[in-house]
Amino acid sequence: MAFPERFSNLPEYAFPRLRKLIDSYPPGGDPVAMTIGEPRHAMPAFLAEVLNAHLHEFALYPPNEGAPELLEAMSAWLKRRYGADLGPDRIMALNGTREGLFDACLALCPEQKGGKRPVVLMPNPFYQPYAAAAMSVGAEAIFVPATAATGFLPDYESLPASVLDRVALAYLCSPANPQGAVAPRDYLERLLALAERHGFTLLSDECYSEIWRTAPPVGALDVATRMGADPERVAVFHSLSKRSNLPGLRSGFVAGGPEAIRRFRQLRAYGGAPLPLPIQRVSTRAWQDEAHVDENRALYQEKFRIADQVFAGVQSYRGPEGGFFLWLPVPDQIGDGEAAALKLWRETGVRVLPGAYLARDVDGHNPGREFIRVAMVAPKEDMQRALIRLRDCIYV
């Protein structure tokens, strides 16, 4: 059976590619997985209590858009965190934010814009579902470099007006996966002004927003509210996976303009998988509680300090501003990210992800090729030992 033509250029996903690259070789030491962004810190202490109290609700069909209590908790959190006064009708619960980031194209991208094929912008490198989402609706995906030269954020303003006029949606991730860059307020102001001028919607992936080094990242809703921007010009996505160490809960939400959320809800009524009610009850409690988030953040901030110490003598090292990934340049004598990942596995047992697997070739260049992504999710002692092995293998 042939794959649909619109997906013909979709490469194999990053982790199967990595397995093909290294799994035929034995590890050169005790294996340490630093590839996938799967938090290993403790889950919130209230998880079992809340879940057990609502086990009987697995017998009920859950509300598709989210239970009223859950939507109220999300709305209250947005108000506390960003000063954004969005009612529950402007929010929809998601079965993990990957669902929402993909479905955004289905719900919000038209077949044409100005009589031409629509464009979906995304940073390069990027979270891979963005590209598959654009392909699913027949839009043209344009990959905009997010490199050291641009502060590891995409410079959408540099695109020609003829392209920007065709843009329907533009993805942004802040703190960025994989580089850890945080979009400052003035960057978001300019991007939202650009969206208003050219009539597109910013899809702001803020799943790492609660893991930061020195200051809480600014959010797109905060900026849009202060600017008085058209509410349809931005939709934001948040998750409990990183904030609360609950990736297996598959719980997040999207918030945006009334029309955008109406479209999301209408589409999801046909094809979405609503969160089971017991999961919604746990999620409600998680959005209401900040103590466990503060504890989690403190652990990551300690990991930032450990990484800074381990790589203190490496001139090319740049610590992240947020999130929990290191985006490490590969020395010329090693080659590229694939060569580094294979060398690390065969010589040390440390498992990392080649940066090229998170990006696309544009004009013969892949901005992730000379990098590896390292997830700082292991317990800090294990992480420190693994980073020392990595440093001594690649940089010494």
pLDDT tens-digit readout, 205-245 = 999 999 999 999 999 999 999 999 999 999 999 999 999 99
Q: Is 259 in the same domain as 329?
A: no
Q: The whole model's pTM is what?
A: 0.96
The domain containing residue 31 runs over which residues? 5-42+292-394
pLDDT of residue 275: 96
pLDDT tens-digit readout, 293-341 = 999 999 999 999 999 999 999 999 999 999 999 999 999 999 999 999 9
Give the span between the Cα atoms of 372 and 337, in whole angstroms: 5
Asked if 18 and 11 touch (Cβ cutoff 8 Å), the reply is: no
Q: What count of other Cβ atoms lies within 10 Å of the Cβ of residue 381?
A: 9
Q: Is 20 in the same domain as 70?
A: no
| CA atoms within a 13 Å half-sphere pointing along the CA-CB vector of 313 | 7
Q: Is 59 in the same domain as 179?
A: yes
Q: Is 145 in the same domain as 74?
A: yes
pLDDT tens-digit readout, 328-383 = 999 999 999 999 999 999 999 999 999 999 999 999 999 999 999 999 999 999 99
Q: Is 280 in the same domain as 335?
A: no
Q: Which two tokens stand for residue 339?
A: 């060569």
| Total count of domains within the chain | 2
Q: Is 272 in the same domain as 353?
A: no
Domain boundary among 289, 323, 358: 289
Q: Is 320 in the same domain as 278?
A: no
Looking at the DSSP bridge assignments, the partners of residue 270 are none
pLDDT of residue 174: 98
pLDDT tens-digit readout, 155-214 = 999 999 999 999 999 999 999 999 999 999 999 999 999 999 999 999 999 999 999 999
Q: Is 220 in the same domain as 97?
A: yes
Q: Is 182 in the same domain as 33?
A: no
pLDDT of residue 245: 96
Domain boundary among 268, 289, 310: 289
pLDDT of residue 4: 80
pLDDT > 70? residue 272: yes
Q: What is the CATH number of the domain that holds 10?
A: 3.90.1150.10
Q: Is 53 in the same domain as 124?
A: yes
Greatest alpha-carbon pair distance for the chain in Å reads 60
Q: Would you state the torsion angle of the CA atoms of residues 332, 143, 236, 199, taken in this order, to the nearest 10 degrees?
A: 150
Q: Is 77 in the same domain as 211?
A: yes
How does residue 1 score in pLDDT terms, banded at 50, 70 and 90? low
Q: What is the CATH number of the domain that holds 222?
A: 3.40.640.10
Mean pLDDT in the chain?
Answer: 96
Residue given tokens 């609502």 in the structure block = 54
pLDDT of residue 2: 63
Q: Is 213 in the same domain as 307?
A: no
pLDDT > 90? residue 3: no
